[in-house]
Amino acid sequence: MKKIQLGTSGLRVPAIAVGCMRMDRLTKTEAETVIKTALDQGANFFDHADVYGGGACEEIFADAIGMDSNVRESMFLQSKCGIRKGQFDFSKEHILSSVEGILKRLRTDYLDVLLLHRPDALVEPQEVAEAFDQLANSGKVRHFGVSNQNPMQIQLLKKHVKQPIVANQLQLSITHATMISQGINVNMLNESAVNRDGSILDFCRLHDITIQPWSPFQYGFFEGVFLDNAKFPELNKTIDAIADRYNVANTTVALAWLLRHPAEMQPVTGTMNVQRLQDCAKAADIDLTREEWYDIYRAAGNVLP
């Protein structure tokens, strides 16, 4: 699979990450099949979070793959912390205890990447910096990032945090593309011109932070997928025509749309279906033309000024 540079980490990682949020719905055998299918496709970057399945997703993952030192070195492991029931928590104590739990469940001594999971309104950047220093110095976390943060929130962290922020997970799909649309509609009076995120796309590109789009097939906030959805007839007609042209599935084209963007994003898939996972992996080999990219963009209802 095509490799990309993960921020300033020095890591060369697969262009597509495998999200494990739904792994707790699988049996051990099913989970093993999904993980091995991903590895066979060259998709050896796995994204976790301590809240996925209440920690069960990480446990099932480690058990299914038979985690040991040899297996561990064949993959990249990323996890997230900071979400607690009814609140967010970026306190030093919570970050450190969360990582201990993650490492125990994944049966590993270290994470390649740790992300702060959604912004905490009560964050004290000095505490985050102390936690990151302790985790980095102990070797328990090698690289750090954030999730769903805007430029000023990242800048506030960077005032105290010494380690580079290498990734930012953000919701992005063909039907949830506000961070792209506002850049196209600069100085316009339409809805698409509203800057909701402080130009986070350009900020991440300027600061070499890899954007990891989550929910790449969703519309709204987990309202459903747009593929094969009667609510999006023109979009599916356009995607299907392009899919026929490349002899691939519509899933492949939808993910290739994100990969075509020059920001070199790393989309995070969420499927536990082996065939769809294989279709996702094929997207790394598809290079949509400029015309195809814009055809899909417009077919989703996005208007060019």
Mean pLDDT on 116-143: 98
* Domain edges within the chain: 3-230+258-286
pTM for the model: 0.96
Mean pLDDT of the region 104-110: 98
d(CA 20, CA 35): 9
Residues with catalytic annotation? 52
Alpha carbon distance 38, 32 (integer Å): 10
Is residue 238 pLDDT above 80, yes or no?
yes
Q: What is the DSSP code string of 8-46?
A: TS--EEESSEEE-TTGGGS-HHHHHHHHHHHHHTT--EE
158-214: per-residue pLDDT in tens? 999 999 999 999 999 999 999 999 999 999 999 999 999 999 999 999 999 999 999
Q: Specify the CATH number for 3-230+258-286; select among 3.40.47.10, 3.20.20.100, 1.10.8.870, 1.10.3720.10.
A: 3.20.20.100
Is it the case that residue 39 has pLDDT exceeding 90? yes
| The two three-digit tokens of residue 43, written as one number | 């998709």
